[in-house]
Amino acid sequence: MFGYPGGNVVDVFDHVRTAKFRFVLGRHEQGCVHMADGYARATGRPGVAIVTSGPGATNAITGLATANVDGVPLVLVSGQVPLSQIGTDAFQEADMTGICRAATKHSFLVKSADEIPEVVAEAFYIATHGKPGAVVIDVPRNVQEATTDARYPERVSLRAYHPESAATPSQVNRLAKWLNEAKRPVLLAGGGVIAANAAGDVAALAAKAGIPVVTTLMGIGCVSASGMHSLGMAGLYGSYAANAALAAADLVVALGVRFSDRVTERCFPNGVHRARLVHVDCDPSSIDKNVTADLGIVADVKDLLTTVNSRVKPSLRAAWLARVAEWKAKHPFSYRQLRRGVIMPQAVVEAVDRAADGRTLLVADVGQNQMWCAQYFRHSHPRRFLCSGGMGTMGFALPAAIGAAIARPDCRVVAVAGDGGAQMTIQELAVAVAERLPIVLVVVNNGCLGMVRQMQDESFGGRRCAVAFPRVHGAGCPDFVKLAHAYGAGGVRVTDPAKLDSAVAKAMRAKGPTLVDVVVDPEANV
């Protein structure tokens, strides 16, 4: 459990003190929620956070929205003023269930201690069933103080919420038939595949029926990048091969995707596609929302694939696979060295990739650095690449990496952030130090808000505004190395391209948290 105390939740903390679970004190409530989020993304198990009322609760909102839009199971307990004071503008009163409505899947305002066991059980049920999401339990102080004999229910049954769904036999038949008939099928795998723990089933279908796989940003890791069926990410910043395969396909089977504008603008303009389109998702409202499907199937992706895999005919599809393999080989992501002796930001991700092994878990922040992490790292496992897709929340990487490192002590967690995003949650470095987590924070330091700068260059005639971070005394501002040292973490700066690999590799072997401040060319574009 991750959290931050305060007056209206202090009664609960009296029991956290003696609880059997590990409690991690964050440094800001947004960070606490991102930590719970990172824990959940890395494991598939719900993350839990606890905050106080008023400002503690409002600080948590960005974290809730970030998790919720990406379908991450998370439960947040927030303190609230005593019931008798609700609606009186009491000290540290905020209408949490009102404020969080659009940032959560559901929320509860607990009215009596007797409700607590049932509400907690329902909150975890809702967070983890159907499309997972964030759930808030708002607990007034007087309820925290009360006692109850109520027991934790053995099972949860909600009157109005029944998210279980399954494909009909005729839908399965049609999908299997279309797959068997298709000459140029493509699987488009999204975050829903990872959430359903169905990555292996996607790979199995691809291998059996000779079908190339492209992913969304959230689907990265579904199939190993080096595999012959894997074409990488589709969409705005996607690979040539992935976008070309989607364009040439005669059947696209979209699995656990919600067709965000990042994908549709590039690959499904106006919400249509020439090819036959099958859309499988556990959320009925995502089907036909942004793209109209020829066959929409509301089902658990894993259940569906288990059935479909037994129904498709083995096929090599040699010609089609050869064609996409050629695209993949001929058009890898590439960049040009802009200035001699200056590190290119893409090279930073390549250095992390070279230093990585089978146990590396990469967490990206937001901005140019996020797209380079998606493009230049050879992703090989589900739940080993975490980033904020739907919200694009700057400051996500460091706290989410802390949550992931706690969840997966067997993995080496590397967070990559821009100099902008790093400054949004840098205080959580104190948590990595206090908890002795050997995470690496790589700051891709281009001295600017690169993604916005690129947008201003490309779409506003180069009229740059509010994007530069002026350098002071040669170092960036702040001096990230000094900052790391101030927190008790290791810190090194790299400016020389020849020293990049060794610095990154050394940080990834360090015993404690280490910040690597890499000064990169500020003019590089995605």
Partner 1 sequence: MTEETYRLNCFVENKPGVLARIVGLISGRGYNIQTLNVGPTEDGTVSRMRIDVLGTERVVNQIILQLRNCVNVIEVTSRRR
Ligand X SMILES: Cc1ncc(C[n+]2csc(CCOP(=O)(O)OP(=O)(O)O)c2C)c(N)n1
Helix axes 345-355, 368-376, angle to 10 degrees: 40
R_g of the chain computed on alpha carbons: 24
Distance CA 394, CA 460 (A): 23
Contact region with partner 1 (CB under 8 A), list: 143-151, 155-163, 180-188, 351-359: 155-163
Taking CB under 6 A as the criterion, the residue among 83, 452, 475, 510 binding ligand X is 452
Residue in 446, 476, 508, 514 binding ligand X, rule: CB under 6 A: 446
Least distance in angstroms from the C-beta of 447 to ligand X: 8
Classify residue 511 as exposed, middle or buried by CB count within 10 Å of its CB (0-12, 13-18, 19+): exposed
Number of Cβ within a 10 Å radius of residue 213 = 29
Question: Among residues 287 and 442, whose Cβ is nearest to partner 1?
Answer: 287
In the bound state with ligand X, the residue whose beta carbon lies nearer, of 74 and 394, is 394
Told to check if 109 binds partner 1 by CB under 8 A, we report: yes
Among 106, 184, 258, 384, binds partner 1 (CB under 8 A): 106
Q: Where are the beta strands (DSSP E) in 230-273?
A: 230-233, 251-255
**Is 81 a residue that touches partner 1 (CB under 8 A)?**
no
Residue 355 to residues 349, 500, 502, 504: CA-CA distances in angstroms? 10, 11, 9, 7
- How far is the first Cα of the chain from the last one, in angstroms, to the nearest whole number? 37
Give Cα 524 to chain centroid, integer Å. Answer: 25
- Our finding on whether 367 is near ligand X (CB under 6 A) is yes
Position with the least CB separation from ligand X: 418
Nearer to ligand X, 139 or 416 (CB): 416
Nearer to ligand X, 434 or 452 (CB): 452
285 touches partner 1 by CB under 8 A: yes
Tokens of 12: 């609960």
Rounded Cα distance between 352 and 148, Å, is 52
Q: Measured from the CB of residue 475, what is the shortest distance to ligand X in angstroms?
A: 16
Candidates 366, 406, 432, 489; binder of ligand X (CB under 6 A) is 366
Q: Per CB under 6 A, which region of 165-173, 293-301, 418-426, 474-482 contacts ligand X?
A: 418-426
CA nearest 236: which of 392, 97, 111, 70? 392
Question: Considering only 133-141, 211-219, 348-356, 450-458, which stretch makes contact with ligand X by CB under 6 A?
Answer: 450-458
- If the CB atoms of residues 61 and 366 are measured against ligand X, the closer one turns out to be 366
What is d(CA 48, CA 197) in angstroms, rounded to the nearest whole number?
20
Binding partner of residue 51 among partner 1, ligand X, Mg ion, none, CB cut-off 5 to 8 Å per kind: none
Cβ neighbors of 481 (< 8 A, separation 6 or more) are 475, 491, 492, 493, 515, 517
Choosing from 97, 171, 216, 230, the residue that interacts with partner 1 (CB under 8 A) is 97
Residues in 317-376 that interact with Mg ion by CB under 5 A? none
Which residues in 381-410 contact ligand X (CB under 6 A)?
392-394
- Residue 81 backbone dihedrals phi, psi, to 5 degrees: -65, 160
Site for Mg ion in 418-447 (CB under 5 A): 418-420, 446
Taking the least distance from each CB to partner 1, the nearer of 102 and 338 is 102
Cα-based angle 499, 501, 504 (whole degrees, multiple of 5): 105
CB of 493 to partner 1, least distance (A): 45
| Residue 64, token pair as written in the block | 């809730």
Select the binding partner of residue 300 from ligand X, partner 1, Mg ion, none (C-beta < 5 to 8 A, by kind): none
Q: Which sign, positive or negative, has the C-alpha torsion 254, 257, 263, 265?
A: positive
Question: For binding to Mg ion (CB under 5 A), which residues are involved?
Answer: 418-420, 446, 450
Question: For binding to partner 1 (CB under 8 A), which residues are involved?
Answer: 97-98, 101-102, 105-107, 109, 126, 130-131, 158-161, 163, 283-285, 288-289
Question: For binding to ligand X (CB under 6 A), which residues are involved?
Answer: 365-369, 392-394, 418-421, 444, 446, 448-452
